[in-house]
Amino acid sequence: MTGPATPGRRLSLNQWTTKSWSVPQAVDGCLRHGIEAIGLWREEVAAYGLAATAKRVADAGLRVSSLCRGGFLNTSSWLDDNRRAIDEAAELDAACLILVVGGLPGVVPGRALGGGVSRDLAAARRHLAAALEVLVPLAAERGVRLALEPLHPMYCADRAVLSTLKQALDLAAPYPGDRVGVCVDAFHVWWDPEVYAQVARAGAAGRIASFQLCDFLVPLPADVLLGRGMMGDGVIDFPPLYRAVAEAGYAGDIEVEIFNADIWAADPDTVVATMKSRYEAIVARAESRDAAR
């Protein structure tokens, strides 16, 4: 699935940017603010009901830019949970199912280390390849595209042993691009000295399944999961990354996905209005630089 060519119409609200909104509130918020796509989270979909969510989104005429999330392949229940996630993505007609692949076996996000932790990082990464061999055919049967999301290296132990686009693209390489793609999340890839070369590689292989925006805050909060800020409030230079993704041929929706306690506590309509204006400023700066070249 791809979004319309007009950049302003490609903006998508990732549901957790306005975490206090339920599914119907988020859908209604998109309509109020003229946003045509939404990225949904499985927890919120389950709370409202899968069939009810699919109907509410379809009736509103919104695209589902992604479903977050599958993955966490380091757990004992990974196969059953990802089967359910694939079925949910199919029901919602999501452009992709985001896979946050998981950290080291036995490491649980937010919990102190206990017994049974494996420190064999290479083995954890080998397991990803074996798990994809199982998941890709299941997703293909349902017409679901999987999107591998590399996360910033600070999350390697507990959330994703994929840390770079290169790693994600290497893992996806055995499969068709329309079956296994990658998520280019600015927060996670901005630091990578190879990011522009790997974005171009992803585009050439037709593997950019999702493009997500938010800023990298300095200093990070004590809970680094909540260190994502509104664009312009951190250190990321967005226009070059936006241009690189565009030049790589990606024409799909562009999600703003922010985990931030202050933003979650703010008025969601104000958050969405700010999100729109900051996004439009990124697009305008990127296009003005293109025109000047």
What is the spatial distance between Cα 226 and Cα 293, in angstroms, rounded to a whole number?
37
What pTM does this model have? 0.95
- Spell out the domain ranges in the chain: 7-292
Q: Quote the tokens at residue 133.
A: 């061999």
Q: Quote the tokens at residue 30.
A: 């998109």
* pLDDT at 291 (0 to 100): 59
What is each CA distance from 215 to 238, 242, 258, 271, in whole angstroms? 9, 13, 8, 14
Query: Residues near 131 by Cβ (< 8 Å), separated by ≥ 6?
Result: 73, 78, 79
What is the spatial distance between Cα 41 and Cα 262, in angstroms, rounded to a whole number?
20
**Residue with token string 């003005």:** 288
What is the spatial distance between Cα 185 and Cα 16, in angstroms, rounded to a whole number?
15
Residue range 7-292 in CATH 3.20.20.150: yes
- pLDDT tens digits for the chain (293 residues)? 344 457 779 999 999 999 999 999 999 999 999 999 999 999 999 999 999 999 999 999 999 999 999 999 999 999 999 999 999 999 999 999 999 999 999 998 988 888 888 899 999 999 999 999 999 999 999 999 999 999 999 999 999 999 999 999 999 999 999 999 999 999 999 999 999 999 999 999 999 999 999 999 999 999 999 999 999 999 999 999 999 999 999 999 999 999 999 999 999 999 999 999 999 999 999 988 765 56
What is the spatial distance between Cα 7 and Cα 270, in angstroms, rounded to a whole number?
21
What is the spatial distance between Cα 154 and Cα 217, in angstroms, rounded to a whole number?
14
Q: Are 150 and 165 in contact (CB under 8 A)?
A: yes
Amino acid at 224: V
Q: Are 29 and 13 in contact (CB under 8 A)?
A: yes
Q: Are 70 and 99 in contact (CB under 8 A)?
A: yes
